[in-house]
Amino acid sequence: VSGTPGWDAQGTKKDKVKGERPNRPPSPAQNNIVGCRISHHWRENGGMITFWRGTVLEQVAINPFLYLVKYDGVDCVYGLELTRDDRILALQVYPEKVDSAQVPDPILANTIIGRSVEHIFEGELGLRKQWKGMVLSQAPVFKSWFYITYEKDPILYMYELLDDFREGDLRIIPDMDEIVPPDVDMEVRDDLIGKSVEYANQDGSKRVGVVIHQVEARPSVYFIKFEDDFHIYVYDLVKKM
């Protein structure tokens, strides 16, 4: 893979848009847009208008207005209330859905899902850097892509990983955490979906979010959507409890 998570091949920081990111079609219950291409303008806090194109990956069950979106040219996945956010302007939903071809090698896909990995990115001047992370699942809609997160940047990314694995740029590493602790009750973990969580920053400030998804291959790992951010954060909540 060229670049690093959130960086391009030249080593230039990609726009992760902390606190900014990307008119109202019918309610999500009446208009299933999962798998559709979309485009819209976005009003930044300073008033600047930017333009975005992407694909709707999934609708969050506990909040039907919240969608996970993969924008063109951006490696991470965003969570947005597409039909409610006043900063989203001129939302266009294109009726033709993306052709969701099946993963080319399901056996190989199952080999990497749920595993801790080292992922090699090539940056400026050909410098190669290893990022430790975890392959979470096959991505929706784009079946040859995978959800992945990284130890030093615990947000939800999406890459085509099978070629990286074949070429040695994605390597499975041993991880004691791959076995779910036997003393953790599955029902307790299931009950976390939809619960509010509070995260303390190093500066003493706090962030409030909601648990929106449990990772099937790693049941102690969850997706969290914070109120002040469009990124989807990935945390092992059993470790933090």
pLDDT in tens, 27-41: 544 458 999 999 999
Q: Would you say residue 196 has pLDDT above 70?
A: yes
Determine whether 199 is exposed, middle or buried from the number of CB atoms within 10 Å of its CB (0-12, 13-18, 19+): middle
**Domain 187-240 part of CATH 3.30.1050:** no
For domain 28-97, give its CATH number from 1.10.1660, 2.60.40, 1.10.287, 2.30.30: 2.30.30
Residue 220's alpha-carbon distances to 3, 137, 210, 212, 239, in angstroms, are: 30, 14, 15, 13, 8
**Domain 106-175 part of CATH 2.30.30:** yes
pTM check: above 0.85: no
pLDDT-based confidence at 51, cuts 50/70/90? very high
Q: Do domains 28-97 and 187-240 have the same CATH topology?
A: yes
Where exactly are the structural domains of the chain?
28-97, 106-175, 187-240
State the average pLDDT over residues 187-195: 75
Chain centroid to Cα 83, Å, comes to 20
Q: Would you say residue 76 has pLDDT above 60?
A: yes
What does the block give as tokens for 131?
């990022």
As a whole number of angstroms, the distance between CA 136 and CA 157 comes to 10
